[in-house]
Structure 1
Amino acid sequence: MNKRVIILILDSLGVGYMADAKNYHPQDVGAHTFHHVIDSNPSIEIPNFEKLGINQILQHPNLNKEIQPLASFGKLNLMHRGADSFEGHNEIMGSKPKKTYQAPFVENMMEVKSALEAEGYDVKIPDHDLPYLLVNDLVIVADNIETDYGQIYNVSAPLDHISFDDVLKIGKCVRKNVRVNRVIALGGENVTPNHLKNSIERREDGLVGVNSPKSNVYKKGYQVRHLGYGISPEHQLPTIAKKAGLEVSLVGKMQDVIYCEGATKRPGVDTENVMKDILQEMKSVQKGVIAATVQETDLAGHAQDSARYANRIQLVDNFLPQIFEEMTDQDLLIMSADHGNDPTIGHNQHTREKTYLLAYQKKCRSVDLGERDTLSDIAATGAGYLGLEQTENGSSFLPFMKRR
């Protein structure tokens, strides 16, 4: 049988703050991204989400309460600390989150410098008042100044002067010698080494790093690889499926944050294009995994633009009938999110929220899947459905789904 698992993640579409937010993320208490987006946009129309059963989860007065849902439904808790897209996606794909630490790069700088030098690199600290590492006079290792304090280090490069493979080798050396959440190796073309160095800034909280938009790395030939702490693709659903001879397609932001050697990759940010790419992959993939992320919801959350957020949800909803039509009786569609980003909460960062869970098969009846411990239950279920070895983390909810 040609079974397929289709995973559709709406980035940051949370459904209520987690209980531990009271202790660790008090700024997120009261967050409920999906509910508050509907509150702010009472004319929103999401009939296909409603058909699947979203209001079994949201219990929102503006949505239809009488519809008999097509999908099984529930909620997923975050096992990773905080609320992070990279960790969230890797948890979704079956990784068990590891305990990281937070520290500005300057606290690890000398250890990283020694490690790079031991591998034969020329490493300088050009400015002790603005501390960062300059590797082979080309690559800058420093804080990521576009995210939360002390969680991510960037390895930034001018790709007209060094190959991305060589940048990645530097990034992997940094990764081996630090325990922060992430090391990001990135670079772009038409970027001079001097322009990169002139884009170094100190943030108000003291972090020092490249202002990536100012450096122009995103404008032409941008390449990036996220290196997470303690994350092994070998134990994630896409790699397990690929090694078993199945097809794997990663669409949109999913291909930015999940690594799977040999997977088909369809990069994209525009929601309409992402949805069209999903449909295209459904026409070509015969058996395996199609995993996609809609990113513009998260961008709207960061912009605190609830109207834009609602518009992106509606656009996804408009495409759902085409996805249903392309589905066979052997397909399993799982929809969820990776964390929250409530545009009404009063700050522009991710919010620590549970995520919604909708699991739809044409031949299965709707059941309440309850509140589950981890996002990894998505991958565990996908692996079980495809008859694959289990992922590192997660419990399958497949036994609860009943045939009609």
Structure 2
Amino acid sequence: MTRAILIVLDSVGCGAAEDADAYGDAGADTLGHLAQACAEGRGDRDGLRGGPLKLPNLVRLGLAHACEASTGRPLAGVTKPADPTGQFGYGVEISQGKDTPSGHWEIAGCPVPFKWGYFTALENSFPPDLVAAIIRDGALPGILGNRHASGTAIIDELGEEHIGTGKPICYTSVDSVLQIAAHEEHFGLERLYDLCRKVRALVDPLRIGRVIARPFVGTAKTGFSRTGDRKDFAIPPPNETILDRLAAQGRAIITVGKIGDIFAHRATGEEIKPFGNAAMFEAALDAIDRLPDGGFCFVNLVDFDTEYGHRRDVPGYAAALEAFDALLPRLEAKLRPGDLTVITADHGNDPTWPGTDHTREHVPILAFGPRIAGGPLGGRESFADIAATLSLHLGIGRLGPGRPW
């Protein structure tokens, strides 16, 4: 038997999708614009990084080739090798939306067959009957926010009032999401989770993808900061995923990061959820050491999205990618003959783009392993091609609508 490792670099898109205009994202390009900004000095930050984007290991595997195949443009400041050692291409999402669940589910072989629900009003975003139900079921004195907002900005604005009144901060975005922020000490972490479970049931009829608990700590004087105790309460995938197929066949599954939350903890095996990309990468290395033949390790590295993409932090995003790139040889050293590793993304989050939301983009696909010959994969017509390939590699039969490469 062989093993498979799937790593999602959350939000690391590689060029606007064909339907990006429908999402207001025509021209978005997370990796392309990030490289351009770094080449022009806009990615410099004293003590953090400087100069062109430096991703020698990802580029060796074919990242620059994948980006150029997607957009027709080279990555600024990046020199392509003549012969990448990995297989490289890009994926096109067929699910509607540009959020985490649809991207991950399609990667896992389950494109979303329905339209998500959204809270489109920028102010008073939630219907009055939903607000009343949240207050009633949560035994709350009321809620704060009730609008589209940046998560960090709204906590800075309303954190002190939240502490004084006991009202949680509820907000949304262009994604299919309802987020609830509350102070870990004054409101209580378990109370926040319980509230989110109740709200999850309330928004199920609206087809809202996720209810997200956003705990934070601090004071108005010292400043508020979100903690690593975030938890997503998602609806489950509507059809079979590679996780379901593997679980049904008794295969070992280890999921790292927020994979468990994204798949509603269905067939997600041993769940490991440390805080921060570095800790998650270390957990993934440990998982690979323990993963038996026929096993599957599924990893999400979320900092690119939450810490840098949404905050439109170009130097931070570039530094995070460079840090991941520097760690890649350690992962490659742990691969056994026959192992297949795929690195991809679930959507874009162009840090140079207006606003603070995800961007509808292609995603890079890099596939490699000790016995995997490099070469082009082209443009894949669905993210589901990844699951189709991995399922055949693991010997569990072809899965989903995707086409294996």
Write the letter of the residue equivalent to 1:224: K
Asked if residue 246 in structure 1 is aligned to residue 251 in structure 2, the reply is yes
Change beyond 3 A, Cα 1:112–1:396 = farther
Distance of 1:304 and 1:130 partners within structure 2? 22
Instruction: Give the corresponding residue for 1:170.
Output: 198
Cα displacement (A) at 1:279: 1.0
Write the letter of the residue equivalent to 1:284: R
| 1:4-403 equivalences in 2 (<5 Å) | 4-22=3-21, 24-26=22-24, 28-42=25-39, 43-58=52-67, 59-60=74-75, 62-97=77-112, 98-103=114-119, 110=129, 144-145=171-172, 147-148=173-174, 151-154=176-179, 170-184=198-212, 186=213, 219=227, 222=229, 224-228=231-235, 231-232=237-238, 235-258=240-263, 259-261=265-267, 263-287=269-293, 288-298=295-305, 299-391=307-399, 393-397=400-404, 400=405
Change beyond 3 A, Cα 1:25–1:237 = same
Write the letter of the residue equivalent to 1:265: E
Normalised by the length of structure 1, the TM-score is 0.75
The answer to whether the 8 Å contact 1:112/1:177 transfers is no
The answer to whether the 8 Å contact 2:87/2:376 transfers is yes
Distance of 1:177 and 1:69 partners within structure 2? 47
Change beyond 3 A, Cα 1:386–1:362 = same
Write the letter of the residue equivalent to 2:281: M
Structure 2: which 5+ runs fail to align?
40-51, 68-73, 148-165
Distance of 1:324 and 1:268 partners within structure 2? 22
Distance of 2:80 and 2:318 partners within structure 1? 20
Identity, % of aligned positions: 23
Q: Secondary structure at the match of 2:15?
A: strand
Distance of 1:75 and 1:16 partners within structure 2? 9
The answer to whether the 8 Å contact 1:269/1:296 transfers is no
Cα displacement (A) at 1:162: 5.5
Normalised by the length of structure 2, the TM-score is 0.75
Q: Secondary structure at the match of 2:208?
A: coil
Distance of 2:109 and 2:82 partners within structure 1? 32
Distance of 2:324 and 2:190 partners within structure 1? 40
Distance of 1:73 and 1:25 partners within structure 2? 27
Distance of 1:45 and 1:131 partners within structure 2? 41
The answer to whether the 8 Å contact 2:210/2:232 transfers is no
Distance of 1:129 and 1:189 partners within structure 2? 15
Write the letter of the residue equivalent to 2:272: R
CA-based RMSD of the aligned residues comes to 3.7
In proportion to residue count, which structure has more strand? 1
Cα displacement (A) at 1:110: 3.6
Cα displacement (A) at 1:161: 7.4
Change beyond 3 A, Cα 1:123–1:167 = closer
Write the letter of the residue equivalent to 1:179: R
Structure 1: which 5+ runs fail to align?
133-138, 192-212
Cα displacement (A) at 1:331: 0.7
Distance of 1:268 and 1:110 partners within structure 2? 37
Change beyond 3 A, Cα 1:372–1:169 = same
Write the letter of the residue equivalent to 2:331: I
